Amino acid sequence: MKSSRSKLLHEVAGQSMLSYALGAATAVEPENLVVVVGHQREQVTAHLQDIAPHVITAVQEEQKGTGHAVQCGLADLGELSGEVVVTYGDVPMLTGDTLNELLRTHRQRGDHCTVLTAELSDPTGYGRVVMDGDQVDRIVEQKDATDEEKAIREINSGIYVFNAGTLHHGLANLSDDNAQGELYLTDVIRIIRDRGELVGVHRTNDLWQTEGVNDRVQLAQMNAEMNRRILDRWMRAGVTILDPASTWIQNGVDLATDVTLLPGVSLEGATSVSEGATIGPDSTLSDVEVGRNATVIRTHAILAVIGEDASVGPFAYLRPGTEIGTKGKVGTFVETKNTKIGAGAKVPHLCYAGDAIIDSGVNIGAGTIFANYDGVTKSPTHIGKDAFVGSNSVLVGPVDIGAGGFVAAGSTVTQDVPPGALAVARGRQRNIEGWINRKRPGSSWDSSALQSDGAVHPAVQKKREELRRLSEQPGSEQ
């Protein structure tokens, strides 16, 4: 893999390759589940502690072949009876159903060993399974095969079930007398056949279940095939995926019927999307819960909750701890973190809301900043029900704005605002007449100013007159 990370920890559809191998092996309900570790084993054992602390690990100090690896895996188990299943950590498409079918075939036929095989149109590079009637005669590696053997299309997956006694005998008689000086598990097949014991096959029609991953090209191919199958499953379950070629869904995602995914969507982790919601285009959700009929457009969200009928984006960033209530809105170029947005509350555009509690019906004006960090501690800001925060305001936490309170545009609020009060926290405007003519004479600004008649625009004047009339009505306040 040319990586500082163990190959087994590289991911397919959001899960490590090793986790898939463990899932398939666990499905056969083994008395002992052993993972043989060697190269970069510290990483692998740490990962196992996180995902499967019950498994046994066996160390292969020197990588001396597959037969040696199996010897290491069995070393501490003592005398075994029954069957031993051998599989690999880098075959992520292998399923527990296939391993159980392999076991059933082995038991029904009464063979001493059964090999999982597949037929490939191009078997180049794989070990060929040479049959003698319905029995395996031998397995020949590509480099050792004759032209006639290279024409065989049935390949060895390297996945087996052995009778325990047969395997112990085969391993005890392995030899490293070969070009690599290694102990090959495939040689056990020859030893079994030399004893006159039976070796059968179980063929799978799903070639991907026998495919391993040895480099990043194969990893990309595996991810693409896994994603294709995940998308097919969801589309057949009632999800609309407009462009499967640009849509990625990981295994842990849960989708309801009538969800619509637009181009450029990536759903990761334990994300769940409820009925009727629309995600995309160009959105990435990781461990996010999306409510019924919500819309999420051009958004990056992590560990967030988006409520029913809520609207998010475009170009929104929801960081962990964000919760948006029913019909809530987080709009364009808004970033939220550890913020609860109540039902119907709106944070429409150009805003940072961190460590905030925004109650229902609140409107946050454009350019507002929740100043939650003083360089040492994080502090919350609470905005009460139906309050209004004017554009370009700074709310310096910890601060509380009461229900129905107003913050005038351009204010820097450092003190609590009582319910129903108007907070104005800004310097009084001062106009310096003729400044452009003195400081920038002859400029385009000066030319435009000289040509202007100084009249207020009719739209502004009209609004001022409306506000003046309202202020003159009984009970109103300027």
**Cα-only R_g, the chain:** 34
Residue 349 annotated among the catalytic residues of the structure: yes
In terms of Cα–Cα distance, which of 400, 371, 406, 368 is closest to 386?
406
Position 340: which residue type?
K
Q: 135: which 2 tokens?
A: 């029995």
Query: What angle do helix axes 186-194 and 164-172 make, rounded to 10 degrees?
Result: 100
Run of H or E including 97: helix 96-109
Around 163, how many Cα atoms within 13 Å sit in the side-chain half-sphere? 15
In terms of Cα–Cα distance, which of 311, 322, 238 is closest to 287?
322
Terminus-to-terminus CA distance in the chain, angstroms?
71
DSSP state for residue 253 in the 8-state scheme? -
For residue 277, what are the contacts with CB-CB under 8 A and spacing of at least 6?
256, 259, 260, 290, 291, 292, 293, 294, 295, 296
Which one from 10, 47, 349, 382 is the annotated catalytic residue? 349
Report in angstroms the alpha-carbon separations of 356 from 202, 372, 401. 60, 8, 11
Where do the DSSP E strands lie in 47-204?
Answer: 56-59, 83-86, 113-119, 128-132, 135-140, 154-163, 199-203
Report in angstroms the alpha-carbon separations of 346 from 18, 103, 303. 44, 59, 20
Three-class secondary structure of residue 266 per DSSP = strand
Query: What angle do helix axes 17-26 and 41-51 make, rounded to 10 degrees?
Result: 50
Report in angstroms the alpha-carbon separations of 12 from 123, 254, 270, 286. 24, 17, 15, 16
Report in angstroms the alpha-carbon separations of 265 from 32, 197, 231, 241, 288. 41, 54, 12, 9, 13
Three-class secondary structure of residue 365 per DSSP = coil
d(CA 389, CA 303): 27
CB 378 within 8 A of CB 361: no
Active site residues: 349
